Chain A
Amino acid sequence: MSPQMIAFKDNVEGVLLACHELVQRPDSELLFAKDMDELRSKISFSGIEYDLKAVGFRPVANCSVLVQSLLGKRKSRMSGRDPDVEGYIRLVLRHSSCEPTELVRFMYSCEGNADMLYSGKTPTGRKYYNYMCDVSRSYHRLSMFARPDFVNGILSVKVDSPHRIGDMFCRWLAGKNPDLPVAVLEKETAWIGNGRYLGLENFTHIRSSFFESLRFSRESDDVDDLWDVYYDSQMIPVRRNKKHAQHLQPKSSSAISEMSARDRYKVERGISNCTLDNFTG
């Protein structure tokens, strides 16, 4: 008899459906793929005949019903800021170190208790909870410290996160600026939000190289200097709580944009009250 295998797509539906199948067939092997082509090549590469069950490649599942049947209702929220189970899986799957098969097995090991995803009681649980927090934190930091600029009239920003969050950030930026086309450049991909202003789909992605050919009529505001004046005006040296400021503006924010790097420098060094005027009288 050939060994059993559950193949699933690495998205929320795929993970939930795979977990559901694993409950029925606990001895199955797991395999994930981003689409059917990748699945076929992975199977042919393994060279073993499997009794294969592929799930999640067609978006037909009702995730909330699946969550309810697999993990039940969360008894209490550990933290008001934790996402629900679907949000948890969505974030974890974006993590650069996430192993979808391990995630499915971890969810299976929760034995119908959704709270185990958030409690951190087991080492794997802690790991995946941390993954969820890492991705969420990276996204929040981008939202706070990325400083988009107008390129060819399009509000654009280059992001460099280890996790796959470019599209999430682009959706957020597009929602914040609904009257402008926005672009988030993540490695070779340019995510486009409010693309209708450019004659594209409202939310889409293109190759970064193609992005340079896009145009929109919008003048750039040069606000860097004005921001520096504002930032400096807010500082009270005697009341500065450096630790708190470091917490609000962590070191990693320096790498996100030049404006943030300048702000972060001031967090560390304070603001010099010695200016050119001191020398010119």
Chain B
Amino acid sequence: MINRHTANEHHFTLTERMKILSEGTKYDSCNQSAVCHAFGPDGRCIQLYKTLLTNACAGECTYCPNRCGRHSTRTSLTPEEIVKITWSFYRRNAVEGLFLSSGIIGDAERTAEKQLEVAKLLRSQGFTGYIHMRVMPGTPLYLLEEIADYANKFGVNAETTSSVNYSEICPNFDYTSDVLQRLKWTRDLINKKRRETGYGGRIIGANDTQFVVGALNEPDREIIGTVDKFMVEYELRRPYFMSFDPVPSTPLENNLPSPKWREIRLYQTSYLLKDYGLKAFDFDAVYDDNGFLLDTDPKLLLAMSHPERFPVNVNSASRDELLLVPGIGPVSANRIIQSRPISSEKELMRMGIVVSRARPYIEINGRRQTNLSSFMGAGA
């Protein structure tokens, strides 16, 4: 692989450019492991080749290492090169798909055209793997429609919770028209594609978006409120949270990085919204005075803040009541309901319930299952 390419008067090999552009995406990494992952419909985890088309960006987002005007090495990959690398990794089964993002090449339209070129080329060569495209705010509808024909998943990042905040960190775009409108279009296109292909055909991923956590002082209460609203209005299935890390030579270089645990607690709260049927206002009691989450499991905090709800009788409680018990998730709640009557903790353990966590909050056949921690005030 000795192809040469000119960018900013530097010559980089394909490997070097691939390295630079993959590094450019790693701050987008939402899973805190190494390689970007997605989850298939069967729950199987799949690895993706994640890259930018280019890191030369016309945008001036204040937190971003690729913002225009910042001194850094700029380079790009051609659609053919991205396709070649994707195939190489795909054949070896190192990846099962491509995650393609980009710096803004002039404007959102031109960028989306280039991204689309990659997807078209891959599909024209018989590529059946997964393609995820992060499009730029402001991408026109006609291009989103075309992208929906080729990609399995596509969407735009909201980054923050309101127009005011957005204009502070992404001054080149308008939150309402460039982001929210695109989230709405994405929702409609996903529904349309799902109707056309059915669930047995090509996978069409649900609507998702990403928030940068900690770049501004927005409290978690606001972020969770926005996620909840997006879940209703845009059928958002999966919010991603990216911890802010200050990047040298950017306007936010002197800000403090967001702690890693905050991202984790936000994810846990978002799962409670997504899978447990809770609403944003249910969490009012778990934030601190400034509206931030604490570094404790939000479900445990929620249970501790509502002692009047417990104990719940595992043999008579509704699914919603069971779901509020720490240690009982949607799968184990279903198992309990289908396996009643339950006569012992052993049965619960076999069903996958984390009994040590659930014990202070449940009763079996009228007997309260308690432990020392409940006497110490940590339980209900």
Chain A residues packing against B (C-beta within 8 Å):
75-81, 115-116, 118-123, 125-126, 140, 143-144, 146-149, 155, 157, 173, 175-180, 221, 223, 225-227, 229-231, 233-236, 238-241, 244-245, 248-249, 259, 263, 266-267
Known A78-B338, A140-B44, A227-B92; contact A178-B33, beta-carbon cutoff 8 A: no
A78-B94 in contact (CB<8A): no
Report which residue of A123, A125, A248 has the largest number of chain B beta carbons within 10 angstroms of its beta carbon.
A248
**Which of A147, A233, A239, A267 interacts with B92 by CB under 8 Å?**
A147
A78-B33 in contact (CB<8A): no
Report which residue of A81, A226, A241 has the largest number of chain B beta carbons within 10 angstroms of its beta carbon.
A226
Interface: B93 (CB within 8 A): yes
**Which of B29, B85, B342, B350 interacts with A234 by CB under 8 Å?**
B29
Interface size class of B (residues with CB under 8 A): 35 or more
B33-A121 in contact (CB<8A): no
**Which of A229, A231, A239, A241 interacts with B245 by CB under 8 Å?**
A239
Known A226-B1, A233-B23; contact A81-B260, beta-carbon cutoff 8 A: no
CB-nearest residue of chain B relative to A77? B334
B350-A76 in contact (CB<8A): no
Q: What are the residues of chain A within 8 A of B277 when measuring CB–CB?
A: none
Interface: B15 (CB within 8 A): yes
Query: Per-residue 0/1 for B329-370: is the Cβ within 8 Å of any A Cβ (1 yes, 0 no)?
Result: 011001101110010000100111000000000000000000
**Distance of A223 from chain B, by nearest CB (Å):** 4
B45-A234 in contact (CB<8A): no
Known A123-B350, A148-B92, A230-B18; contact A248-B335, beta-carbon cutoff 8 A: no
Interface: B75 (CB within 8 A): no
**Distance of A160 from chain B, by nearest CB (Å):** 16
Interface: B153 (CB within 8 A): no
A230-B19 in contact (CB<8A): yes
User: Bound state CA distance, A80 and B19, in angstroms?
Assistant: 37
A121-B339 in contact (CB<8A): yes
A238-B351 in contact (CB<8A): no
Within 8 A of A (CB), among B63-91: 85, 88-91
Interface: B36 (CB within 8 A): yes
Q: What are the residues of chain A within 8 A of B347 when measuring CB–CB?
A: 121
**Distance of A262 from chain B, by nearest CB (Å):** 11
B33-A244 in contact (CB<8A): yes
Interface: B269 (CB within 8 A): no
A155-B91 in contact (CB<8A): yes
Q: A121-B350, A146-B93, A230-B89 given; name 8 further pairs at CB < 8 Å.
A: A123-B350, A140-B43, A143-B44, A226-B1, A238-B245, A245-B32, A248-B31, A248-B37
